Amino acid sequence: MSKNPVVAVCGATGAVGREMLKVLEDRDFPCANVIPMASARSVGKTVPFRDEELPVIELTDDAFEGVDLALFSAGGGTSERFAPSAAKAGCVVVDNSSAWRMNPECPLVVPEVNPHDLEWHKGIIANPNCSTIQMMVALKPIHDEARIKRVVVSTYQAVSGTGQKAIEELENQVRRLMSGQPVVADVYPHQIGFNCLPQIDVFLDNGYTKEEMKMVNETIKIMGDPSIRVTATCVRVPVFYGHSESVNIETEQKLTADDVRALLATAPGVVVEDYPEKKIYPMAINCAGLDDTFVGRIREDETIENGINMWIVSDNIRKGAALNAVQIAEVLLQRNLLRVP
Ligand code: A2P
């Protein structure tokens, strides 16, 4: 494409949509025009972009005429409903919902890990789950070096991953609890203020939640290696921004903790923050608003031959959603793939 693309942000009034606009601006993404879209409820509202307030238009089947790229973050149902219309109109979709992730026609991409999968896109590209993205960025260099056989992950996930209403729910509950008032859980099934919920998304027949199985299935698709075994426990914690993960891996070849630190020190998008003697390790409060994935507490698992434990933290709205989507768009532009075949 010789001219700069026209870019739609679908779900522009939401937590991720707003961040997408910010990331497009921060990275100076070359666009001819940006069109914020949301539901009919938001018509009449504006969203900030560069020095302007852009009017929000309603997301409809006909809204993609003349649009080259659409970044979707408006929920799975909305993506399922409208992404095909966008692609039909010749617009390449990068979708942040789970609607298209396991569809064999749609690449599922973390640009640091599998940018080559963008080559076979057919109009709809899926952005992985936030917890999966940050884990992939850290595990890919280890897998390439020593082949990962098994991953055991427990997540500590921020409420912003659920959306704007969940951010408000935690804020309100904390305020009410601190003044001795009763709270009502609306977004989550239980109180999230000063609590941890071992349920993210719905339960499946196997006893795992949908979020946990996303981590299992998406890891295999992104790494392109069905032999990796993953087991996950996903927990919502009363944190606004930044997902943390305790990750245990078993590799085929032996790696020491120093080997892992050296591998991750040169990995794209990764910062090693691992000075336990100085009490320095990754924390959600420090990563909010940043692009990198931070890894620390790297140590050998002494209960198995080739095992490593680590702690992986990243801003779930940025690398876990908006930034990853914009990075995909950047690769599409660089490789001249911003067209529906
Ligand atoms: P709206 O603000 O008009 O409801 P979050 O994940 O923070 O809750 O944000 C969800 C985003 O998805 C919002 O921008 C919301 O727009 C948008 N959205 C939700 N449902 C629809 C829909 N049916 N059509 C278009 N946009 C939708």
Separation CA 336–CA 118 (nearest Å): 11
Q: Is residue 339 one of the residues assigned to a domain?
A: no
Residues in the chain: 341
Residue whose CA is at the smallest distance from ligand 1 atom 16: 38
Which residue minimizes the CA distance to atom 4 of ligand 1?
Answer: 39
Catalytic pick from 10, 91, 106, 130? Answer: 130
Ligand 1 geometric centre to CA of 332 (Å): 25
In the chain, how many domains are there? 2
d(CA 279, CA 265) in angstroms, rounded, equals: 19
> Can you tell me which residue has the tokens 């009919």?
40
Q: Are residues 110 and 139 in the same domain?
A: no
Question: Do 275 and 254 fall into the same domain?
Answer: yes
Instruction: Tell me, yes or no, whether 307 and 326 share the same domain.
Output: no
CATH number at residue 37: 3.40.50.720
What residue type is 280 in one-letter code? I
Same structural domain for residues 204 and 93? no
pLDDT beneath 50, residues of the chain: none
Q: Say whether both 138 and 276 belong to one domain.
A: yes
Quick check: helix, strand or coil at residue 319?
A: helix
Same domain, yes or no: 310 and 328:
no
Ligand 1 centre distance from Cα of residue 106 (Å): 23
- Give yes or no for a contact between 60 and 41, defined as CB atoms under 8 angstroms apart: no
Residue 328 and residue 292 share a domain: no
Does 150 lie in the same domain as 109?
no
Q: For residues 155 and 298, state if they share a domain.
A: yes
Q: How far is the CA of 121 from the centre of ligand 1 (A)?
A: 26
**Predicted local confidence at residue 79, as pLDDT:** 98
DSSP string, 188-241: SSS--TT--BS--S-B-TTS-BHHHHHHHHHHHHHHT-TT-EEEEEEEE-S-SS
Q: State if residue 269 touches ligand 1 by the CB under 6 angstroms criterion.
A: no
Specify the pLDDT at position 194.
98
* Residue 181 main-chain phi, psi, to 5 deg: -95, 150
The answer to whether 143 is a known catalytic residue is no
The pLDDT assigned to 2 comes to 66
**Which mutation among 61, 78, 168, 186 tests ligand 1's pocket best, with the greatest number of atoms within 8 A of CB?**
78
> In terms of Cα–Cα distance, which of 332, 301, 309, 283 is closest to 29?
332
Give 284's contacts (C-beta < 8 A, 6+ positions apart). 156, 158, 239, 241, 242, 243, 244, 313
pLDDT tens for 85-119 read: 999 999 999 999 999 999 999 999 999 999 999 99
Q: Could you tell me if the CB of 199 is within 6 A of ligand 1?
A: no
Instruction: Verify whether residue 31 is a known catalytic residue.
Output: no
| CB-ligand 1 contact for 59 (6 Å cutoff) | yes
Which is the catalytic residue, given 91, 106, 243, 287? Answer: 243
Range of the domain at 104: 6-128+321-334
Judge contact between 215 and 228, C-beta under 8 A.
no
Residue of minimum CA distance from atom 8 in ligand 1: 163
CA atoms of 259 and 257, how far apart (whole Å): 5
In the three-class reduction of DSSP (H, G, I as helix; E, B as strand; rest coil), residue 20 is classed as helix
Based on the fold, state whether residues 221 and 261 are members of the same structural domain.
yes
User: Apex CA 54: angle with CA 50 and CA 55, to 5°?
Assistant: 175
